[in-house]
Amino acid sequence: MRASKQHMEKVRSHILDAAGQGFREEGYGGLGINGLAQRAGLTSGAFYGHFMSKSDAFAEVVAKGLNDYANAVADLKQQHADAWPEHFLAYYLGAEHVENLACSCVVPGLSADVMRAEDKTKIIYSALTTRIADSITAGLNKSSSGDSWALMALLAGAVMMARSVSDPTQKKDILSAAQHWAETIIQTK
């Protein structure tokens, strides 16, 4: 008996969630098909029943993560109107996001792996980060997306660096400096 389409989509979604956490925690190179399948509670053969390759799963993880980012910005804009940027910064530079690598944004978590990925993944990354930058630009009432790109790069870089240092004071200094400059970008007319 063949599984229903709905069941197959549910399993695929579960695999993507597990793969997303795995790629964020271990990097693309640190996780093979067996590890991806094991994280999802499946065999390698079952993994291949849903994805042609590890790189296909990675591309979908990147797309899902960037769509989640875009949706989070849209939700913040809807929930908090003009105050959305402050809520965005509080979350992005907050301890929960910085410390929880497995569930964090794909931009600081996977950009280094995207840089080494196949062109199809880079195309997805480019298109969806442009969508996010455009949404931020519109939410800041700016005519150019330059500030949005700077904001996204500043936040992602600060999170990556804060995760990489061992000194808690240094981590705090990185995040405080990023907060200051992010607020400057947001307030620039």
Is 22 inside a domain boundary? no
Is 87 inside a domain boundary? yes
Predicted confidence (pLDDT) per residue in 110-151, tens digit:
999 999 999 999 999 999 999 999 999 999 988 788 999 999
pLDDT of residue 10: 87
Is 37 inside a domain boundary? no
Is 26 inside a domain boundary? no
pLDDT of residue 5: 82
Report the number of distinct structural domains present in the chain.
Answer: 1
Q: How many residues does the chain have?
A: 189
Is 160 inside a domain boundary? yes
pLDDT of residue 2: 65
Is 151 inside a domain boundary? yes
Is 111 inside a domain boundary? yes
> What is the CATH number for 180?
1.10.357.10
pLDDT of residue 189: 46
Is 25 inside a domain boundary? no
- The series of mean pLDDT values per 10 residues for the chain, 189 residues long, is 77 90 94 92 88 95 97 96 95 94 92 96 98 94 88 97 97 98 84
**Host domain of residue 64:** 53-187
